[in-house]
């Protein structure tokens, strides 16, 4: 690109400089500056050769300003911004030619392109020493931008100004008064400061404990602002340790307004951080270029970015604070969506997928062989999946279904379709126990149409399902090296049609001959990275991820916006509601009695031991101890089995087998039974230390029972639950709706913990509330429209936005 040339800079510069001298009264141009600018922009836009300068041009809203409506402060900042931009144009025309999209010589030295400087370390700010910077790091603040974006946790409302006579006890209020007397004083047995201030309506005392030095700060006759609560002491009102501020010419920072409360860390003080952020925001916020296209900003009625940042810190009013939050939250959600959508585009549109033909013969034969009929929801979801598989682009679908809704048969049908098309299919589960169970279930389902297969080992073949024998294998970490190698070999040669396994599936040695469909079960246990490694084992295979952790639709679309959504919203008929009870510790004996009675009636029970996050081996030891205790002291007459993640696979399999066969009455286990285990004769789920689990997890445990005809029960024990723990236990007792529980869980734990930020690979959301459905929808709608009209954000007016998406997603971690 050549340098912009032939742009008439001087007249505009002169006008703006005059505007500046006339205190931004919009009095320089007859008819107003807006009109002039519109004409000027029309003549100029096409002449701006550099993408960066053009982006700035749009960011400054030069084509469509609203100067007439702005207040003086906004006008001032805008004029300064435009003058800076004009300087850049001049530099580009005069000296170094600007290159496409890149920073040319002009942005290296001092430049009005404040945006680049925003990513400098905080130490470039005057007064921030390396010592102070090292404290700020603890708040996650490294760059100037981080500091500008260090939003307060909340605001104190000190905006209620009163005269001294109007003050009321116990309310947050502000007075502006004159200091009559200030002295260091003994307050009880502490040293502190005492002042008497007054206004035309009266006098009041204010005291600060432990801060005798303050007395010197408050000189007699100084004007002082006090904000805080007033208490009554011996029928006299007093301000106790109020926020204070001397009236100088400056804006109030600590009093008299909505005052921000920032996160602090050791060695940082409230007033210090407030002063620092105020100073930095005042001088830097206006340099943040607004990356949102003007059109979107107008349509969604959003504040400009610098304005929003300023108002988020020091709002003029409650409504401005809300406006600021809306804008900043929109940004987070919008950028999140754009990133997610561009991933989807990469997968689906830039690489061709494999179109399958759907052989209804195969599907019907399989479905008809099942011992039950599919529910309406299962049938609908299958149709949705088949419609995707037929397309020559990769399916990317999330299948949500309540615990026990029957996702496995749906997945199996899809895997058979893949096999019928001559492709391989893979099903990945988070634990060996679950992978083994899937293997056995699917083998069982297929063997119904089988004319005798090999019923042993980790590879099995079945006739009568496809027109040729179909081969199914189990690949888990605990196989011997020799078995694994043999299996790797057969997978690579295409000798295996369907592989079921754990993480072992995505290890290096595993190469598929022709992977056409990857299914991931219980996807919340996997990160985005693992999902994408499995995909990369094939040439753009179809992807189906399944979860029993249901989240509200809008939220699912936002967070998994790269996936299309199918929901099984219907349980197979005949399922009973599970009775759930949270028992106080002293009722433990009753819980055991109850369990014993159920066993006597021919049922079986689970006992889940506490979650121990530090290590799986400690968790295993705890389970062993609990197993010993229960089998020796509590249930010596019952048949107990033990299951934990550290056992050799063959032992696990034996135990599960015995439990399924009914030769064990009680299965004592670590929380590994959380996902997927299916033993219809089990009717009691007893969870120890239930308060330590998240709601969704408790719901999963509960889903292990109630799979047969009998009434089932979930008993929750908790020694000494915290208030939040109590709230969770109450919720799970009262609700059996997985969606409602997931929502509640989200609310109680926040999105970070709920999704496991480390795993999710999603960028942080700081201002956005995931409960704000209208805003979620708005951001998603705008993101979809924009990705449609400018896929890849290639247009010059979207240059800044593209850069922001790249910036945010880069720090968002493991997104592949
Ligand atoms: P989840 O969705 O939790 O993974 P599963 O696939 O394990 O559920 O299914 C739970 C149980 O319900 C299994 O025993 C399965 O065979 C059974 N099942 C699945 N679909 C139906 C149906 N339509 N009618 C009756 N039982 C079904
Ligand atoms: Mg399942």
Q: How far away, in angstroms, is 408 Cα from ligand 1 center?
A: 7
Torsion of CA 506, 520, 689, 610, to 10 degrees: -20
Tell which atom from ligand 1 comes closest to the C-alpha of 568: 2
Structure tokens at 236: 């006299």
Residue nearest to atom 15 of ligand 1 (CA): 406
Ligand nearest to the CA of 406: 1
Residue nearest to atom 19 of ligand 1 (CA): 406
Structure tokens at 740: 């409602």
Q: Which of 403, 408, 439 to mutate to test the pocket of ligand 1 (most atoms within 8 A of CB)?
A: 408
Q: Helix-strand-coil percent breakdown of the chain, rounded to 5? A: 45, 15, 35
Local structure of 345: helix, strand or coil: helix
Q: How far away, in angstroms, is 372 Cα from ligand 1 center?
A: 9
The single-letter DSSP state of residue 631 is: I
Ligand nearest to the CA of 377: 1
**What string of DSSP letters covers 82-116?**
HHHHHHHHHHHHHSSPPPTTS--GGGTSS-S-HHH
Distance CA 231, CA 224 (A): 19
Q: How far away, in angstroms, is 600 Cα from ligand 1 center?
A: 27
Q: How far away, in angstroms, is 221 Cα from ligand 1 center?
A: 80
User: How many C-beta atoms lie closer than 10 Å to residue 16's C-beta?
Assistant: 19
Residue nearest to atom 26 of ligand 1 (CA): 572
Ligand nearest to the CA of 574: 1
Distance CA 575, CA 709 (A): 7
Continuous H helices in 494-605: 528-536, 553-559, 588-600
Residue nearest to atom 13 of ligand 1 (CA): 406
In this structure, the strands spanning 258-261 and 604-608 are unpaired
User: How many C-beta atoms lie closer than 10 Å to residue 674's C-beta?
Assistant: 26
């700020």: which residue's tokens?
Answer: 136
Tell which atom from ligand 1 comes closest to the C-alpha of 405: 2
Q: How far away, in angstroms, is 358 Cα from ligand 1 center?
A: 23
Structure tokens at 355: 């179109």
Torsion of CA 716, 719, 721, 725, to 10 degrees: -20
């929502």: which residue's tokens?
Answer: 743
Provide the residue count of the chain: 816
Contacts 24+ apart (CB under 8 A), 724-727: 724/748, 725/691, 725/692, 726/691
Q: Which residues of the chain are modeled with pLDDT < 70? A: 1-5, 21, 90-116, 249, 448-456, 524-529, 550, 552-554, 614, 673-676, 749-764, 811-816
Q: How far away, in angstroms, is 404 Cα from ligand 1 center?
A: 5
Distance CA 720, CA 718 (A): 6
pLDDT digits (tens, 9 = 90+) for 526-571: 666 677 788 888 888 999 999 887 676 667 777 777 788 898 988 8
Ligand nearest to the CA of 405: 1
Give pLDDT, residue 598.
96
Give pLDDT, residue 255.
83
99-119 CB burial, b ≥16 within 10 A, e <16: beeeebebbeeebbbbbebbe
Q: How far away, in angstroms, is 407 Cα from ligand 1 center?
A: 7
User: Contact at 8 Å (CB) between 811 and 332?
Assistant: no
Give pLDDT, residue 110.
35
Give pLDDT, residue 107.
31
Tell which atom from ligand 1 comes closest to the C-alpha of 680: 14
308-347 CB burial, b ≥16 within 10 A, e <16: bbbbbbbbeeeebbebbbbbbbbbbbbbbbbbbbbbbeeb
Tell which atom from ligand 1 comes closest to the C-alpha of 707: 11
Strand partners, 73: none
Q: How far away, in angstroms, is 243 Cα from ligand 2 center?
A: 57
Continuous H helices in 401-546: 407-420, 432-447, 481-493, 528-536
pTM of the model: 0.65
Q: Which of 378, 404, 674 to mutate to test the pocket of ligand 1 (most atoms within 8 A of CB)?
A: 404
Q: Which helix H or strand E contains 197, and what residues bound it?
A: strand 190-199
Distance CA 5, CA 50 (A): 11
Residue 357 CB partners (closer than 8 Å, separation 6+): 390, 421
Q: How far away, in angstroms, is 615 Cα from ligand 2 center?
A: 25
- Closest of 506, 574, 503, 575 to residue 534, by C-alpha: 506
Structure tokens at 729: 């236990």
| % of the chain with per-residue pLDDT over 90 | 38
Residue nearest to atom 5 of ligand 1 (CA): 406
- Closest of 725, 723, 695, 724 to residue 714, by C-alpha: 695
**In a 10 Å sphere around its CB, with 0-12 CB exposed, 13-18 middle and 19+ buried, how is residue 361 labelled?**
exposed
Distance CA 27, CA 219 (A): 44
Local structure of 393: helix, strand or coil: coil
Q: Which of 444, 572, 660, 680 to mutate to test the pocket of ligand 1 (most atoms within 8 A of CB)?
A: 572
Residue 340 CB partners (closer than 8 Å, separation 6+): 560, 561, 562
User: For the chain, first and last CA: distance in Å?
Assistant: 32
Q: How far away, in angstroms, is 401 Cα from ligand 1 center?
A: 11
User: Contact at 8 Å (CB) between 588 and 717?
Assistant: yes
Q: Which of 372, 406, 410, 682 to mutate to test the pocket of ligand 1 (most atoms within 8 A of CB)?
A: 406
Strand partners, 424: 515
Distance CA 387, CA 543 (A): 13
Residue nearest to atom 14 of ligand 1 (CA): 678
Tell which atom from ligand 1 comes closest to the C-alpha of 441: 16
Average of per-residue pLDDT values in the chain: 84
Distance CA 59, CA 39 (A): 18
Distance CA 756, CA 611 (A): 16
Q: How far away, in angstroms, is 676 Cα from ligand 2 center?
A: 4
Ligand nearest to the CA of 441: 1
User: Contact at 8 Å (CB) between 167 and 177?
Assistant: no
Q: How far away, in angstroms, is 550 Cα from ligand 2 center?
A: 13
Strand partners, 175: 226
Residue nearest to atom 10 of ligand 1 (CA): 404
Distance CA 147, CA 285 (A): 10
Residue nearest to atom 16 of ligand 1 (CA): 406
Tell which atom from ligand 1 comes closest to the C-alpha of 703: 3
Residue nearest to atom 24 of ligand 1 (CA): 572
Report the pocket of ligand 1 as residue ranges, CB < 6 Å: 372, 374-375, 378, 401, 403-409, 548, 572, 676, 678, 707
Rounded to 5 degrees, φ, ψ at 667 are: -105, 110
pLDDT digits (tens, 9 = 90+) for 596-637: 999 999 999 999 988 777 677 888 888 999 999 999 999 999
User: Contact at 8 Å (CB) between 198 and 177?
Assistant: yes
């001088």: which residue's tokens?
Answer: 283
Distance CA 549, CA 779 (A): 24
Tell which atom from ligand 1 comes closest to the C-alpha of 574: 25
Distance CA 671, CA 693 (A): 10
Q: How far away, in angstroms, is 59 Cα from ligand 2 center?
A: 49
Q: How far away, in angstroms, is 330 Cα from ligand 2 center?
A: 35
Residue nearest to atom 18 of ligand 1 (CA): 406
Distance CA 510, CA 811 (A): 30
Distance CA 502, CA 427 (A): 8
Residue nearest to atom 1 of ligand 1 (CA): 404
Q: How far away, in angstroms, is 574 Cα from ligand 1 center?
A: 12
């Amino acid at each position: 690109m050549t340098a912009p040339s032939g742009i008439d800079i001087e007249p505009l510069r002169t006008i703006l400089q005059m505007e500046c001298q006339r205190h931004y009264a919009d009095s320089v141009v007859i008819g107003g500056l807006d009109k002039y600018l519109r004409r000027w922009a029309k003549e100029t836009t096409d002449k701006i050769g550099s993408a960066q300068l053009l982006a700035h041009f749009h960011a400054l809203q030069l084509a469509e300003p609203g100067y007439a409506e702005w207040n003086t402060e906004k006008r001032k900042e805008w004029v300064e911004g435009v003058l800076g931009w004009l300087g850049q144009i001049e530099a580009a025309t005069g000296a170094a030619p600007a290159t496409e999209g890149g920073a040319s010589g002009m942005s290296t030295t001092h430049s009005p392109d404040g945006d680049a400087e925003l990513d400098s370390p905080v130490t470039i700010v005057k007064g921030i020493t390396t010592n102070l910077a090292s404290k700020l790091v603890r708040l996650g603040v490294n760059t100037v931008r981080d500091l500008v974006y260090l939003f307060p946790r909340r605001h104190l409302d000190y905006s209620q100004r009163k005269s001294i006579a109007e003050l009321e006890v116990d309310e947050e209020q502000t007075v502006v008064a004159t200091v009559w007397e200030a002295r260091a004083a003994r307050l009880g047995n502490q040293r502190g400061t005492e002042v008497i201030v007054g206004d035309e309506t009266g006098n009041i005392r204010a005291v600060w404990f432990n801060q005798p030095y303050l007395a010197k700060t408050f000189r007699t006759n100084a004007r002082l602002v006090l904000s805080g609560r007033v208490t009554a002491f011996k029928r006299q009102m007093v301000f106790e340790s109020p926020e204070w501020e001397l009236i100088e010419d400056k804006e109030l920072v600590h009093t008299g307004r909505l005052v921000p409360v920032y996160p602090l860390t050791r060695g940082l003080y409230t007033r210090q951080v407030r002063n620092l952020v105020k100073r930095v925001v005042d001088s830097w916020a206006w340099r943040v270029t607004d990356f949102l296209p003007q059109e979107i900003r107008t349509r969604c009625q959003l504040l400009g970015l610098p304005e929003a940042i300023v108002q988020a810190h020091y709002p003029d009013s409650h409504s401005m604070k809300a406006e600021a939050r809306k804008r900043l939250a929109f940004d987070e959600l919008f950028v999140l969506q754009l990133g997610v959508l561009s991933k989807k585009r990469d997968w689906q549109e830039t690489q061709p997928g494999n179109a399958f033909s759907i052989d209804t013969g195969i599907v019907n034969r399989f479905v008809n062989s099942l011992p039950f009929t599919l529910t309406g929801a299962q049938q609908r979801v299958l149709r949705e999946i088949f419609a995707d598989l037929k397309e020559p682009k990769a399916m990317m679908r999330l299948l949500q279904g309540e615990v026990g809704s029957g996702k496995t048969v749906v997945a199996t049908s899809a895997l058979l379709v893949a096999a019928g098309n001559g492709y391989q299919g893979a099903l990945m589960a988070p634990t060996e126990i679950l992978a083994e169970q899937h293997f056995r279930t699917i083998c069982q389902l297929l063997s119904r149409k089988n004319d005798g297969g090999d019923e042993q080992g980790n590879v099995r073949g079945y006739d009568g399902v496809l027109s040729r024998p179909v081969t199914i294998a189990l690949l888990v970490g605990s196989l011997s090296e020799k078995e694994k190698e043999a299996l790797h070999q057969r997978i690579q040669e295409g000798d295996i049609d369907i592989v079921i396994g754990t993480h072992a599936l995505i290890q290096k040695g595993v190469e598929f001959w022709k992977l056409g469909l990857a299914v991931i079960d219980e996807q919340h246990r996997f990160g985005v990275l693992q999902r994408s490694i499995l995909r990369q084992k094939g040439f753009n295979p179809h992807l189906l991820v399944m979860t029993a952790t249901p989240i509200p639709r809008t939220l699912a679309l936002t967070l998994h916006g790269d996936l299309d959504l199918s929901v099984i919203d219907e349980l197979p008929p005949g399922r009973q509601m599970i009775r759930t009870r949270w028992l106080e510790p002293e009722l433990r004996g009753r819980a055991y009695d109850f369990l014993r009675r159920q066993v006597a009636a021919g049922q079986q029970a689970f006992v889940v031991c506490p979650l121990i996050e530090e290590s799986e081996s400690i968790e295993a030891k705890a389970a062993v101890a609990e197993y010993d205790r229960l089998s020796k002291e509590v249930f010596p007459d019952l048949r107990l089995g033990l299951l934990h993640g550290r056992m050799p696979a063959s032992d696990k399999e034996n135990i599960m087998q015995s439990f399924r066969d009914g030769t064990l009455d009680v299965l004592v286990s670590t929380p590994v039974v959380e996902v997927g285990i299916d033993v219809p004769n089990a009717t009691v789920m007893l969870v120890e230390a239930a308060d330590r689990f998240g709601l969704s997890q408790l719901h999963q445990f509960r889903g292990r029972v109630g799979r047969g005809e009998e009434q089932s029960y979930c008993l929750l024990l908790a020694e000494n639950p915290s208030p939040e723990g109590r709230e969770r236990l109450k919720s799970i007792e009262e609700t059996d709706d997985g969606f409602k529980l997931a929502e509640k869980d989200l609310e109680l734990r926040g999105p970070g913990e709920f999704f496991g930020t480390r795993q999710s690979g999603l960028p942080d959301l700081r201002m956005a509330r995931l409960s704000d459905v209208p805003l979620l929808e708005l951001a998603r709608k705008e993101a979809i429209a924009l990705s449609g009209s400018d896929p890849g954000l290639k247009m010059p007016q979207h240059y800044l936005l593209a850069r922001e998406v790249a910036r945010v997603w880069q720090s968002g971690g493991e997104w592949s």
